[in-house]
Structure 1
Amino acid sequence: MKIQHYISQQQLAETPLAGRFAAFIQGHPQGNFFQSPEFFGFSDGLQEYRPALFLALSDSDELLGSLLAVVQTNGSGLKSWFSRRMIVWGGPLISDNGGADKKEIAKRLVSELIAFAQGRSIYIEFRNFFDTSDLRDVFESCGLAYKPHLNYLVTTDEEVAVKKRMSSSRMRQIKSSVKQGAEIGEANSEAEVMAFYHILEKLYREKVRKPLPTPELFLKFWKSGLGKFFVIRQESRVIGGIVCPVHANKVIYEWYVCGEDGLAQGLHPSVLATWAPIEYGVQNGFDHFDFMGAGRPDQDYGVREFKARFGGEEVSFGRYEMVVNKSLYRVGKIGLKVYQSIK
């Protein structure tokens, strides 16, 4: 077995593996947007993203597995240096074909990723999209620690069934928001994308209190056609929205969401924004809507209750974490606390 790695879409495109990788992700039962060639290409060229793709090949060049990671940073200079983290959403993906050793393939991919991360990232985090309990010993043998982490998956079958699973309060908030003149639409200009961004930026500054990617990511996603960029309008003014990547017309994700709640009684743009991709999934035959995280079960997380009321299935696929550079990690954590205290 051998591992090939690529750090740009162009580098991969120049090989025969490009088409095979696309087919592998499309056909894999756990294939997802954040492990796809589309996300690899989207990440490539973003100022604050540096993708790295690892492909496991047999001696006869059969594609056995893939792992796509992104080194994320925020800002420039020292801020960028101390914010470097390697994030993996929904990977690795291992082939079930043939007699290949699934654990050995996973171990080689994860080991290559860790080696690549040295000097490039301060810590590594795998955010699982599916049950990886059969590979937990592989991750732990590579030095990663498992952390419980919740999520909600909303089945998007029949609209009547979807609404029945939702809490009655959510349905009332959707109806009252529409009654107040709020409408769901798609962003139709850069100005609307930026109006959404300013609301999101305020949310991150005042409540989330973590760094937010620059507008570049949101403008590029809006132009990319890789998903849906819903906005909530009231009297032509953007008061909320949600960024939703799509995979294979079967899964739609919540990546970033916000709303100017509290503008008027009965107006709930955050609720309407969250309902937008669920409704879209129902109307277009999708399998489910993925909230992409609901916090750790042992920690209070107010957003969890908000998400739970949309009637999704609570799952706990967890995360795997590893500190690559402990001294820089400590400095980075101090920096984040300072950032949170002054915002």
Structure 2
Amino acid sequence: MIEITNHLDIKQWSEFVHSHSHGNIFQTPEIAEVYKRTKNYEPITLAAIDTKNDEILAVLQAVVIKEMSGFLGTFSARSIIQGGPLFIDGEKGIKALKILMEYYNKIARKKAIYTQLRNTWDTSAIYDVLNKMGYEYEEHLNFLMDLNCSKEILFSKLKRDKKRAIKKAKERGVKVVKEDKTALPIFYEILQETYDKAKLPLADISLFEAVFDILVPNNMANLYMAKYNNTYIAGRITLNYRNVIYDWFGCSSQDYLSMYPNELIVWHVLEEGIDNGYKVFDFGGAGKPDKEYGVRDFKKRFGGKPVNYGRYCKVHSPTKMKIAEKGFKLYKRIK
């Protein structure tokens, strides 16, 4: 018999994710704790258990994100499942997945306007399962960098403009350093500037404080900052799990873009990744293929492998969804 629980044994959960062929940081107990400590974030942690032997058959780590607290926050509430659900192979795994998602949907429709599954691998095998539950698939791109090579070979894969940008940044005296929590306020200030320019809402600083408290001590995250004349001009937070580095949050000061700090930080992370035995650098998404996206152009020039694992979306409240979409358009106009 399969039973759904939200009380997982941490050790058992951690081992399940770590040993899974598609295990990733976004389905771990550590990221759940980060979400738990973040303002306006609410984690949803569920697992399908075989009651005969207490074996985990499937795990789902979601997070409900609101842009503000209180009643108005319900009109921005969305649930994100990144890199999940994870389930065992075979018919038993598919059965567990169905039961798990049905249980999750009952919870999510009370907490979020919609759910988005952000795939980190090819999920075509479960397309029918999710589609029958009302999840619609949409294309979404990403780039993966192969770090299982020498730095010289990796550099040769970069497009000419990126090679030139990295060389110019070094010639102009830009340095990249790995920083501790004391640099977080400066990073967040630059990040706020970047998000304001893009007219996008930004997570509360408590998200990044939790990353330093939970992930950094376990070598699961790093903060890199670019400096010019002792001034911080750009930053990037990466997440690390097994043999993968995930590009998570990046930012740069508009006044120093001519110094090419973004290119230099990415290259520094790639070099360090090779030195430390990582195999893949995951650029963390590159938008929809049919829509222009400047960030995609930046990432593409590093010569990574393009993938289209896509996303699934299920709207739980069509009325609130329409209100939220109008509200976001107004937000962008005001910003």
Distance 1:274 1:304, change over 3 A: same
What secondary structure is seen at the aligned counterpart in 2 of 1:255? strand
Equivalent in 239, 242, 247 of residue 245 of structure 1: 239
Superposed CA deviations along residues 272-297 of structure 1, whole A, max 9, x for unmatched, are 22223222211111011111110011
Whether contact under 8 Å (2:4, 2:103) holds in the other structure is: no
What secondary structure is seen at the aligned counterpart in 2 of 1:176? helix
Cα distance in 1 for partners of 2:205, 2:72 equals 17
Whether 1:104 and 2:119 are equivalent positions in the alignment is no
Cα distance in 2 for partners of 1:251, 1:29 equals 13
Superposed CA deviations along residues 148-205 of structure 1, whole A, max 9, x for unmatched, are 1000011112211211111121111111111111111122343x21111111111111
Aligned ranges 1:115-264 → 2 under 5 Å: 115-157=106-148, 158-190=150-182, 192-207=183-198, 209-224=199-214, 225=216, 226-248=220-242, 250-261=243-254, 263=256
What secondary structure is seen at the aligned counterpart in 1 of 2:309? coil
Whether contact under 8 Å (1:151, 1:316) holds in the other structure is: yes
Whether 1:85 and 2:78 are equivalent positions in the alignment is yes
Cα distance in 1 for partners of 2:263, 2:255 equals 12
Aligned length: 329
Superposed CA deviations along residues 7-63 of structure 1, whole A, max 9, x for unmatched, are xxxx54xxxx32111111111111000011111122112212111111111231221
What secondary structure is seen at the aligned counterpart in 1 of 2:288? coil
Cα distance in 2 for partners of 1:218, 1:128 equals 23
Q: In the alignment, residue 65 of structure 2 is paired with which amino acid?
A: Q
Q: Who is 2:2 aligned against?
A: 2
Superposed CA deviations along residues 73-106 of structure 1, whole A, max 9, x for unmatched, are 112234422110000101011113xx54332222
What secondary structure is seen at the aligned counterpart in 1 of 2:110? coil
**TM-score normalised to the size of structure 2?**
0.94
What secondary structure is seen at the aligned counterpart in 2 of 1:118? helix
Q: Who is 2:65 aligned against?
A: 72
Whether contact under 8 Å (1:89, 1:126) holds in the other structure is: yes
Equivalent in 259, 273, 276 of residue 265 of structure 2: 273
Cα distance in 1 for partners of 2:62, 2:236 equals 23
Whether contact under 8 Å (2:151, 2:274) holds in the other structure is: yes
Distance 1:223 1:176, change over 3 A: farther
Cα distance in 2 for partners of 1:105, 1:76 equals 34
Q: In the alignment, residue 241 of structure 1 is paired with which amino acid?
A: G
Cα distance in 2 for partners of 1:88, 1:232 equals 31
Whether contact under 8 Å (1:259, 1:268) holds in the other structure is: no
Whether contact under 8 Å (2:244, 2:281) holds in the other structure is: yes
Q: Which runs of 5+ in 2 are unaligned?
A: none
Whether 1:18 and 2:10 are equivalent positions in the alignment is yes
Higher deviation after alignment, 121-130 or 78-87: 78-87
Deviation at 1:302, TM superposition (A): 1.5
Distance 1:48 1:59, change over 3 A: same
Cα distance in 1 for partners of 2:113, 2:141 equals 24
What secondary structure is seen at the aligned counterpart in 2 of 1:30? coil
Whether 1:316 and 2:308 are equivalent positions in the alignment is yes
Superposed CA deviations along residues 204-238 of structure 1, whole A, max 9, x for unmatched, are 1112x221001111222133313111111112211
Cα distance in 1 for partners of 2:59, 2:304 equals 29
**TM-score normalised to the size of structure 1?**
0.92
Higher deviation after alignment, 308-317 or 155-164: 155-164
Q: In the alignment, residue 282 of structure 1 is paired with which amino acid?
A: I
Q: In the alignment, residue 154 of structure 1 is paired with which amino acid?
A: M
Identity %: 32
Cα distance in 2 for partners of 1:270, 1:321 equals 31
Cα distance in 2 for partners of 1:334, 1:264 equals 33
Whether contact under 8 Å (1:231, 1:238) holds in the other structure is: yes
Q: Who is 2:326 aligned against?
A: 334
Cα distance in 1 for partners of 2:184, 2:106 equals 38
Cα distance in 2 for partners of 1:181, 1:189 equals 24
